[in-house]
Amino acid sequence: MARTRLTPEREGELYGAVLDLLREVGYDALTMDAVAARTHSSKATLYRQWGSKPELVARALRHNKPADVAQIDTGSLRGDFHAMVSMGDDCQMERDSALMRGLVHAVHNNPDLHQALRELLVAPELTGLGVFLHRAVERGEVRADHPALKYVAHMLVGAFVARQLIEDRSVDKAFLADYIDAVLLPALGV
Amino acid sequence: MARTRLTPEREGELYGAVLDLLREVGYDALTMDAVAARTHSSKATLYRQWGSKPELVARALRHNKPADVAQIDTGSLRGDFHAMVSMGDDCQMERDSALMRGLVHAVHNNPDLHQALRELLVAPELTGLGVFLHRAVERGEVRADHPALKYVAHMLVGAFVARQLIEDRSVDKAFLADYIDAVLLPALGV
């Protein structure tokens, strides 16, 4: 698919509008017509640029992420994890977690959205974590065959979901920092 | 509220019908009328026994659980966790996780259901885990002030949710047993 180049500013505006609409009406009620109207663009442009609603939504969510985790390199696994947490912003995390809760149902009913989120949001995040962990192994901080290595993402997902489910609170930086020191690093033997 | 005694068999039948309806139509479309029709009981009886739809659903889900985790007492924390996992049944877990995914959205839109699930399903489970962990502390297996103690439920929730979200697979006994040995016990220093 040949894409007309959008300026990064224009692309950011479009993604911002998609996220606003997601928060206002939810995934199911979000239409390409509404995105076109809100952003003063044509539906044809949206489809040409993004192909489909699930891909547009997944790319908007990805664009919303503060920065690329893989670019962190502090020299220690503990430093890398804490740098990842401190890139976040408590208000942003609270807004994002409301957005994510709304998307859970949409994912259940829309396999295309689940697939797009997995490819565009989950996979790069896992790659980023993989980079951290690979460097930690190379430095000798973690054994290459450590059984907890394959479960780092599971531990992190648990922090986010259980904080909401059990404690009825959103994740914030202080909580994540404590969880990393109490759970992630000890499980990895660091 | 004075409850007429139902026989345990009759109560089990009613709960089974509620779960069947939940799987068939989802929480939002499940009505007390449909439960009454399916179970040949009157709506008045249902309301008298359970008060409300969220409570009926939460009790049905609780009744569905294989057994009370708190009754496990093998003499070691590792033994207790593995006994908990081996009480499960892979087919049952797969059915339950489909049910749970369907309920996530319902919880998002129905604070009463969230509250009922938290009280009737999450709280007893946490109490059960608390009993395990308390005994492990008393035996000297885990330090009383171990920082991972408060996050055991988070780690377990992560196993369930991330297995689905990241790996697109249901949890089974082999996976849980491996996760316990790779993550839970090392995080607790056991």
- In this prediction, residues A21-50 reach a mean pLDDT of 91
- Decide if pLDDT at B134 tops 90: yes
Determine contact, residues B70/B131, Cβ cutoff 8 Å: yes
Closest-CA distance of chain A to residue B107, Å? 10
pLDDT of residue A122: 80
Cross-chain CB nearest to A158 (options B159, B168, B178): B159
Cross-chain CB nearest to B183 (options A155, A157, A168): A155
Map out the domains of chain A with their CATH numbers. Answer: 8-61 (1.10.10.60), 67-187 (1.10.357.10)
Residues 59-98 of A with CB under 8 A from B: none
Q: In terms of residues, how long is chain A?
A: 190
Among A154, A161, A175, A178, most B C-beta atoms within 10 A, so best to mutate, is: A154
Separation of alpha carbons A107 and A113, rounded Å = 6
Cross-chain CB nearest to A105 (options B105, B126, B166): B105
Q: In a 3-state reduction of DSSP, which class is residue A148?
A: coil
Separation of alpha carbons B149 and B139, rounded Å = 15
pLDDT of residue B4: 62
Closest-CA distance of chain A to residue B151, Å? 7
User: What is the pLDDT confidence band of residue B47, given thresholds at 50, 70 and 90?
Assistant: very high
- Decide if pLDDT at A186 tops 60: yes
* B147·A181 Cβ contact <8 A: yes
Rg (CA), chain B: 18
| Range in B10-14, B78-82, B99-103 with the lowest mean pLDDT | B99-103
Cross-chain CB nearest to B148 (options A108, A151, A182): A182
Burial of B86-103, coded b for 16+ CB within 10 Å and e otherwise, reads: eebeeeebeebbebbbbb
Residue of B nearest to A167 (CA): B118
pLDDT of residue B1: 47
Q: What's the predicted TM-score (pTM) here?
A: 0.81
Higher pLDDT, A4 or B13: B13
The DSSP secondary structure of A114-166, one letter per residue, reads: HHHHIIIIIHHHHHHHHHHHHHHHHTTSS-TT-TTGGGHHHHHHHHHHHHHHT
What residues in B contact A183, CB-CB < 8 Å? 148, 151, 154-155, 187
Separation of alpha carbons B110 and B99, rounded Å = 16
What residues in B contact A102, CB-CB < 8 Å? 108
pLDDT of residue B126: 79
What is the average pLDDT value for chain B, to the nearest integer? 86
Share of chain A above pLDDT 90, in %: 45
Closest-CA distance of chain B to residue A160, Å? 8
Separation of alpha carbons B183 and B156, rounded Å = 9
Complex ipTM, two decimals?
Answer: 0.79
A70 Cβ partners below 8 Å, 6+ apart? A127, A128, A131, A132
Please tell me if residue B189 touches chain A, with a CB cutoff of 8 Å.
Answer: yes
Element (H, E) at B115: helix B111-117
Separation of alpha carbons A8 and A150, rounded Å = 35
* B151·A189 Cβ contact <8 A: no
* B157·A148 Cβ contact <8 A: no
Query: How is residue B159 written in tokens?
Result: 């196993």
B135 Cβ partners below 8 Å, 6+ apart? B73, B77, B80
**φ, ψ (nearest 5 deg) of residue B144:** -60, -30
Please tell me if residue B177 touches chain A, with a CB cutoff of 8 Å.
Answer: no
Higher pLDDT, A161 or B142: B142
Determine contact, residues A125/A69, Cβ cutoff 8 Å: yes
pLDDT tens per residue across span B64-90: 776 667 678 999 999 999 998 888 888
Determine contact, residues B16/B34, Cβ cutoff 8 Å: no
Helices (H) and strands (E) in chain A, counts: 11, 0
Q: Following CA atoms A65, A23, B115, B172 in sequence, which dihedral angle do they give, to the nearest 10 degrees?
A: -50
| Range in A108-117, B9-18, B97-106, B166-175 with the lowest mean pLDDT | B97-106
- In this prediction, residues A141-154 reach a mean pLDDT of 94
Residue of B nearest to A101 (CA): B108
Separation of alpha carbons A169 and A122, rounded Å = 23
CB pairs under 8 A between A and B: 99
